Chain A
Amino acid sequence: MAKAKTIILDPLSDDNPITYQVLGVCSALAVTVQVQTAFVMCIALTLVLAGSNLVISLMRNMIPSRIRMIVELSVIATLVILVDQVLKATAYDVSKQLSVFVGLIITNCIVMGRAEAFAMQNNARDSILDAVGNGGGYSIILILVATLREIIGSGTWYGFRVLPASYPGNGLMVLAPSAFLIIGLMIWAQRTWMTKKFEED
């Protein structure tokens, strides 16, 4: 059970896919202007991650290693298209705002990275736990970034006004570079305060 705990908890903080592995940053820049889009993105990515980890872990002994990337990619692509279609059918407005970024989950390094690094070597149960952990770690950062950007940038959170209407907003926070700055500051904070040993500098 201890192993299951580390599999889930590690990626939430010390081994976070965004702030430690620095994967999936592209979508973290693109969809974090509003908390709502970030939230939907988190769910979509976690679902794809769980699905792909499960399928690839079940198939791991059947996949010839020379073509494993292509097999992984086709599994991921199938799942992404499924999620995209479901989103279009159920939450059309949000899916319009997310535009290509749901489709781009295919190229999200976290999904491919977990399939390669974890699901190929571990059993189905651990692989799903790993997906939950990494999806959770991704979601924590995404929601944090989106919260900061939406509150500072527009004075709202999940569409609700939290700062008075006279708040002037912050134009930079609405632009993608601000997500770079915020993620950079988070990595700085994590490297200063977290216990895990990072590379010697």
Chain B
Amino acid sequence: MKFMLDMHDKVRHHFEKGGKFEKFWPLFDAQDTFMFTPATTTSSGPHVRDALDLKRVMITVVFALFPAILFGIWNAGHQHNLATDGAAQGIMPDILMGLRYVVPVIIVSYAVGGIWEVLFCIVRKHEINEGFLVTGMLFPLTLPPTIPLWQVAVGISFGVVIGKEIFGGTGMNVLNPALTARAFIFFAYPSQMSGDAVWVAMSGDAVQGFSGATALAIAAIAEPGVPLTNALTDAGLTFKNMFLGTIPGSIGETSTLACLIGAAILILTRIGSWQIMAGMVIGTLATAGLAGAMGTSVFAQLPPQYHLVMGGFAFGCVFMATDPVSSAATGIGKWIYGVLIGMLVVIIRLANPAYPEGVMLSILFMNVMAPMIDHYVLQAHIRKRKARYA
């Protein structure tokens, strides 16, 4: 490491003000602070000495994503082999096949998004942020494995530029950039982002009669009379399968278990807010329970816990809703924010057949509301203190 540090210090002056490569300072700075503790100190109080800076926060999130990534790679291959050959092929062939579909998507997401990021850093002269490491990984995990790569490129460009950079970069964005990117692709190219055909990557001719419908799609068109759990079981979507994630779906979203491991990492390191996650689960269970008691449709009668394992709920709850920039920041605000997302998820799923998945839309909607929630929580706090000392 000493040798690396010497090397960095030797070329540092080229990048500093007046140096040859002054324009590329953000690139050098990113590399430098990624590997070594920055020498800069805060110029005004409060001075907190802590090894945890923004870069370590972001890299921890990427670590927390690993179970979902690895499982997603295996599952993409597993579903492909299951659909194409009609039988499971064993772990290694599944993983190799999954890598063929997932790795290009991740590479395109990082490369294209990274170019925009660097471009804005150089023009705007701010430092490159590890926030993009998370965005660039979150986005591919929310896509179906069959997504055309050019759409990945268009999506991440939209997410980084419109979702983040026009607001001033990391820390200033109102919306979660990864979800903004997904929403763009969802509305722009619906035939590659929804329906029954996109969730399982298949080569050649599909097996006759094979349907890759997701649980939410089945739920949205369920016939009255038969309990939905039966219809789901018929399609191979038991609660256990949906919890483990061995079902067709977006790359990283199928496994509730993998997301729970990620949640444990985020909560233990205190990087993700457990209040938001808990609030979202409570909101969903309560609303689904209420719908079950009052609603008459088959979907409304679905046991509430199913909502937690269907679609992108677990992934959105653990990794998207807890985004520290776009979520509410005050203590009570986090609870309100989480509960409202959970309620909206069920409402969108039950009431709007056009959008089978409500998690993305409800998180984006509450992203917009988060500053208002924080504002009123703070105002209430100020009023309370005023009354106390009046």
**Chain A residues within 8 Å of B, Cβ to Cβ:** 168, 170-173, 175, 181, 184, 188
Contacts and interface: CB of A to CB of B under 8 A. Distances in A.
**Nearest 10 pairs of A and B residues by beta carbon:** A172-B188, A172-B187, A170-B188, A171-B188, A171-B190, A171-B187, A172-B184, A168-B189, A175-B187, A171-B189
B187 A168 contact: no
Nearest to B148: A168
Contacts of A184: 166
A168 B150 CA distance: 12
Contacts of A170: 188-189
Contacts of B166: 184, 188
Nearest to B161: A185
Measured as residues with beta carbon below 8 angstroms from the partner, the interface class of chain B is under 10
A111 B163 CA distance: 34
Contacts of B189: 168, 170-171
Given A170-B188, A172-B184, A172-B187, 7 more contacts: A168-B191, A168-B192, A171-B189, A175-B187, A181-B162, A184-B166, A188-B166
A32 to B, nearest CB: 17
Question: Which has the most chain A C-beta neighbours within 10 Å: B162, B188, B190?
Answer: B188
A168 B162 CA distance: 22
Interface of B: 162, 166, 184, 187-192
A interface: dominant SS: helix
A180 to B, nearest CB: 11
10 contacts: A168-B189, A168-B191, A170-B188, A170-B189, A171-B187, A172-B184, A172-B188, A173-B188, A181-B162, A188-B166
B169 to A, nearest CB: 15
A85 B166 CA distance: 43
A165 B166 CA distance: 34
Contacts of A171: 187-190
Nearest to B184: A172
B275 to A, nearest CB: 32
Contacts of B184: 172
A181 B166 CA distance: 11
Nearest to A173: B188
Contacts of B191: 168
A182 B351 CA distance: 31
A172 B187 CA distance: 5
Nearest to A168: B189
B209 to A, nearest CB: 27
A171 B189 CA distance: 6
A175 B166 CA distance: 21
Contacts of A175: 187
B324 to A, nearest CB: 26
A175 B162 CA distance: 17
A168 B191 CA distance: 9
A20 B191 CA distance: 37
A179 to B, nearest CB: 14
A53 B216 CA distance: 57
Nearest to B190: A171
Contacts of A173: 188
A79 B231 CA distance: 61
A188 B124 CA distance: 14
Nearest to B162: A181
A184 B162 CA distance: 10
Nearest to B191: A168
A50 B189 CA distance: 42
A173 B189 CA distance: 10
Nearest to B154: A170
A149 B190 CA distance: 17
A148 to B, nearest CB: 13
A173 B184 CA distance: 10
Contacts of A168: 189, 191-192
A181 B189 CA distance: 17
A184 B7 CA distance: 44
